[in-house]
Structure 1
Amino acid sequence: MTRNRTHERPVRHARGRVRLTPWGKIALGTVAVLMAGTAGGGAYMYQRLNGNIESSALFSGTTGDAGVQKADEQGRFPINVLVIGTDARSSEANCKLGGACDHTAANADVQILVHLSADRTNITAMSVPRDTLTQMPGCENAETGQSVSERYGQINGSLVYGPGCSVAAIHQLTGITIDHFVMVDFAGVIAMSDATGGVDVCVTDDVYDNYSHLKLSKGSHTLKGEAALQFVRTRHGFGDGSDLGRTYGQHAFLSAAIRSMKDTGTLLNPTKLYGVADAATKALTVDEGLDSIPKLIDLATELNKVDTKRITFTTMQSAPAPTDPNRVVPTEAAQKLFATIIEDQSLSKGPNETSTPSPSTSKASPGRDFEVQVRNRGGADGRAGEMTALLADQGYDAETDASAGDLETRTSIIYGKGQVDQAQQLAADLKMPSSLLTKDTDTDTVTLVLGQDWTEGDTYPKSTKKDRQEALADSNARAATKSECVPVSTQNTVKYNGVSMTPAEAYAQATDKKDSAS
């Protein structure tokens, strides 16, 4: 997919159909291979799959947008997709799968932000707990006419006003640009797990969660149908029994599903492949940027460039909310995780692969004979003067901006219209990643803003193993290649016959209940 060599682009607030990590990446890869394998003879399949697609607007916030994506030095863009699992009972099939059958309400059981790096070497999939309390944006759902003003509330409730409101809420919470969304409902999870032939999972102990109805004995199991849905919806059975425990099961399930698609030959079997693609396209609602098979193929091609070992699942770090111990708020560590994703830094084990801009290769190189303002917002005394002298020695027309201002966490280079090559040249000399370049149409001067992340040294500090560990601290990180048993809660997180007990104790007593995997 060829793009113009620009260094900013607004995300497409349109309709489409996507699918990334969760149950998303599986279907996208499926569709891509299916279309390649049926070229010239798959017109009926193409029309059938294309007709399955449903879409809605990417962004439905009443102010702002879903962010502006930035290119690296080679003109490549990262791709961020919000994957939403909805608990909506908006169809007869979904009503039969548990809970109150309410056709007017929908909350997000799953919120996973999937980041595909600009150089296509790694993927980070970050879960945002559904119980997160945050300042919510105002939204207006063009399809239903429902609207809501800004307020403080639980983030998964934004889905009531459409997936475009969930996009607005997650972007406002994290600051991460969102390019696409994909939404799947209860029935969709079942259809896709059946089409793939089941997913292998493992639990550390016997578990019975009478809320989701998941009942499994200790060890490994292959889950299909309703059992798969029970597994990804379980919260009282895993971890500490909270919504964070639910993410443990979701990450394990999705990792296993990705491995299964590659290991069982599904992608090479036309019959199996069509079944998965058909189930996937029927199950999903996406934004307008992915509302056709060709668009899905483009995205799938990019996703499939990433090796499984370079896919990292994480959970937004959180702490109990001061106003409600049963809800959570992001911690300071979460801000580090957000920043790492924004800066397109790899969280997979191995060397940091974040790109650093190279000097302009255009015929009319900007050289270094241009004005650079240096502004100190990092708190280190005399820092702007030091960097001004350094840049002057390198040939820049550097001046110190002595204006006062608030401290800023991250360093940045701000540039105006027609100054992208100059900003790139400066970033290359200072070894700054391209993610720190910001365009401002109201300025005509390149400005280096020194933040708290760079208070000493002549070049921008490299991301280290320590940085990666800090970003992943307390985030339940795991690689998609790892096959680990999900930890069953050891606390009294479930009730059986009105008595609080552990999931293992409930399993022992629930002899009249059929095991999910049997």
Structure 2
Amino acid sequence: MSDPWDGPAGQGTRRRGARVPRQRGAAPDDARPPGGRAAARAASRAGGGRRARRARPVPRGRRVLKILGIGLSVLIVVTAGAGWWFYEHLNGNIHSVSLDGKGGTEKADAFGRTPINILVMGSDGRTSATDCKLGGGCARTGVQTGSNADVEMVLHISADRSNATVMSIPRDTMTKVPACQDSESGQSTNGYYGQINSALQYGPACQVATVHQLTGITIDHFVKLDFSGVVKMSDAVGGVSVCVSDDVYDTYSHLKLSKGTHTLKGVAALEFVRSRHGFGDGSDLGRTVSQHIFLSAMIRKFKSAGTLTDPTAVYHLADAATKALTVDDGLGTVKKLISLADDVNKVPTKRITFTTMQTAPDPGDKDRVVVGPGAKSLFATIADDQALTNGSGKKSAAASATAKAKATASAVPAAEIAVTVENGTGITGRASALATALTGQGFSTATTTANAPSPATGTTLTYGTGEQAAAQTVAKALGLPPSHLKQGTGSGLTLVIGSDWPSGISYPGGSSSATPADTKAAVGGAHASTADQAKTCAKVSPYRTVTYDGVSMTPSQAYAAARNKPDSDA
């Protein structure tokens, strides 16, 4: 007798998992009683036909949830893949260069926070066909290799992220350019005295080193844009709103605008920030002010509702920014650039101060300038992480009162004290940085710099007979502990900077009773403004700074004469 679950008599037991033909008709007499899994299997076979094989219908709600679950899983995978591609794409856009420590190192405050100082450079380089077309001047030379930093701004973000200062350095400033070598091109210099913007020919790190040496301000990072970079950035934000005080036509930058407010994109934005003959006195000094108006408007646009919440706008902005910028290694990833943008975003517009370094005419060339007296106070406020505005956004006068009070209390007036500052660290610019800090705090302009006879591990301030009080005044200004003072056999004060003081203008770990810079003097003659001043118009030059059809005229006269030329925002 055969088992109903086996094959014909005499056939071996079926293989595990082999398919068994379904038996037709009634269940055999020895079929197992109903109940359990066996009964369920028997029942499924007993009915026969297609109806017996039909599964129980799945409820509609469960089908919908299943479809949604699959769709969500696919969406997560696709989104994650797109996000990764986007991140890698943006990182691939960034071109970064090492600073090689040329800008010094920041000193943390009592809470471990450090300020950020960034040198923002606008290059005049015609290093591509696009920049040749935008900038002109390539008709004879073709695409060029070198470039100058025609725009230089030190962006300072305070350690507590409550305020920021933007200081423009006019491109016509004459200064000492230190020995440099461009890590990419290999071009080098042994150092020279020349126009500050020319240092970029030896690489961004050389430009950073030059500004650090001139101002004594630690430069942590740099950001460089070329002509096409300005065009890309202005397009990405949807245009920048600016105001001009009168009709203006700069026949050199080709900016042509009627009196009033305009939204500038692309080439028009580039024409505005490049215009030096259209505004102020027709020099680079007037151009820095109009550039501050442009940047203030751009900052307000960044912070305005919707700009950074629209995914499409954010994508275009990020893509444009990473393609437009050359940065140092410290900013060489999207994550680091986002962190920087977040730091800037924390500062209210009313506490972002724009200034221009005070200058004086160069005695040797009327078309060039040198650092003016008030600039030393401006340098010191930035180096000391002092705000140029108070909590309400108004210019601060508290530091000025403090400085006067401390000067009165000094046994020896700072103006009567000259110091010889010697660099024993091997770090370029340290003596210059501290000498600038001292003169910026009112010490004698007879203060000089030199290299120490040999490397020094510890910092010392040596004073002559009867000059201890003067030495104490200097020590207080620099935060130098009394243990670093010693009496010498000669006369005068000599400060030897050791390797224990590699950066900053206050001695590391000292009591730092340094006299605050006079912030009132810092903004005097610096054309100071804040980023919240939306109604400020760029002042069109009243002088004959342009030429049209061979005739010298004012920018407004040129606008009237060039009726057939379209406006820049047409």
Under a length normalisation based on structure 2, what TM-score does the superposition of the two structures give? Answer: 0.67
**Rounded Cα–Cα distance in structure 2 between residues aligned with 1:92 and 1:385:** 60
Unmatched runs of 5 consecutive residues or more in structure 2: 1-78, 400-458, 476-480
2:147 equivalent in structure 1? 106
Kindly provide the CA deviation profile for residues 129-188 of structure 1, in whole angstroms up to 9, marking residues without a partner as x.
011111111211121121122111111111111111111111111111111101011111
1:299 is displaced (CA, Å) by 2.2
SS in 1 for 2:374: helix
- Residue in structure 1 matching 2:301, options 241, 260, 277: 260
Asked if 1:93 is matched to 2:130, the reply is yes
Report the CA distance shift for 1:306/1:468 in structure 2 as closer, same or farther (over 3 A): same
- Which of 525, 528, 534 is 1:474 aligned to? 525
Distance 1:159 1:397 in 2: 42
Match of 1:437 in 2: 506
Supply the AA of the counterpart residue of 2:109: D
Q: CA deviation at 1:312?
A: 0.6
What is the aligned partner in structure 2 of residue 503 from structure 1? 555
Which one of the candidate residues 361, 364, 373 is aligned to 1:320? 361
**Counterpart of 1:438 in structure 2: which amino acid?**
Y
2:247 to 206, 219, 222: 206
SS at match of 1:301: helix
- Indicate yes or no: 2:537 matched with 1:485: yes
Secondary structure of the structure 1 residue equivalent to 2:329: coil
Equivalent runs, 1:19-58 vs 2, <5 Å: 42-58=83-99
Aligned to 1:329: 370
Aligned residues of 1:187 and 1:283 also touching (Cα < 8 A): yes
**Percent identical across equivalent pairs?**
54
Report whether the alignment pairs 1:289 with 2:330.
yes
Corresponding residue of 1:188: 229
Question: Following superposition of structure 1 onto structure 2, how do residues 127-206 of structure 1 map, counting pairs within 5 Å?
Answer: 127-206=168-247
Q: CA deviation at 1:249?
A: 1.3
Task: Render the CA deviation track for 1:220-256: whole Å, top value 9, x for unaligned.
Answer: 1000010000000000010100001110111000000
Corresponding residue SS for 1:169: helix
Cα 1:407–1:339 shift into 2, 3 Å: farther
Displacement, 1:297? 2.4
Q: Provide the aligned C-alpha RMSD in A.
A: 3.3
1:380-428: per-residue Cα shift (whole Å, max 9, x none)?
884668999xxxxxxx9979744466569xxx999996x9xxxxxxxxx
Conservation of the 8 A alpha-carbon contact between 1:415 and 1:447: no
CA distance in 1, matches of 2:197, 2:497: 35
Cα distance in structure 2, aligned partners of 1:219 and 1:86: 29
Q: Is the 8 A contact 2:243 2:259 kept in 1?
A: yes
SS in 1 for 2:154: strand
Higher RCO (C-alpha under 8 Å, 6+ residues apart): 1
1:473 maps to amino acid: G
Shift, 1:335, TM fit: 1.1
Give the drift of 1:120: 1.1
- Mapped contact 2:460–2:496 kept (Cα < 8 A): no
Contact 1:207 1:504 in 2 (8 A): yes
Does the alignment pair 1:80 with 2:121?
no
Alpha-carbon contact 1:209-1:237 (below 8 Å) kept:
yes
Which ranges in structure 1 are unaligned for 5 or more consecutive residues?
A: 1-37, 355-371, 389-395, 420-433, 440-445, 450-458
Over alpha carbons, which structure has the higher Rg? 2
Deviation at 1:460, TM superposition (A): 5.6
Cα distance change, pair 204–44 in 1 and its aligned pair in 2 (3 A): same
The CA distance in 2 between the partners of 1:124 and 1:144, in whole Å, is 33
Partner AA of 1:487 in structure 2: K
Deviations 1:296-327 (A, max 9, x none): 22322322221111111111111111111111
Q: Relative to structure 1, is the Cα distance of residues 273 and 84 closer, same or farther in structure 2, using a 3 angstrom cutoff?
A: same
Output the amino acid matched with 1:78.
P
Cα separation, partners in 2 of 1:181 and 1:373, compared to 1, 3 Å: closer
| Counterpart residue type for residue 97 of structure 1 | L
Residue among 329, 342, 347 paired with 2:388: 347
> Does the CA contact (< 8 Å) of 1:344 and 1:435 recur in 2?
no
1:35 corresponding residue in structure 2 = none
Render the CA deviation track for 1:264-310: whole Å, top value 9, x for unaligned. 51101000111011001001111111111122223223222211111
Compared CA separation, residues 511 and 150, structure 1 to 2 (3 A): same
- Give the secondary structure class of the aligned counterpart of 1:267: coil
- 8 A contact 1:413–1:448 mirrored in 2: no
- Aligned equivalents of 2:561 and 2:498: distance in 1? 66
Q: Give the Cα separation in 2 of the matches to 1:155 and 1:279.
A: 29
Shift of residue 105, structure 1, vs aligned partner: 2.2
Work out the CA distance in 1 between the residues paired with 2:225 and 2:496.
Answer: 39
What secondary structure does 2:330 align onto? coil
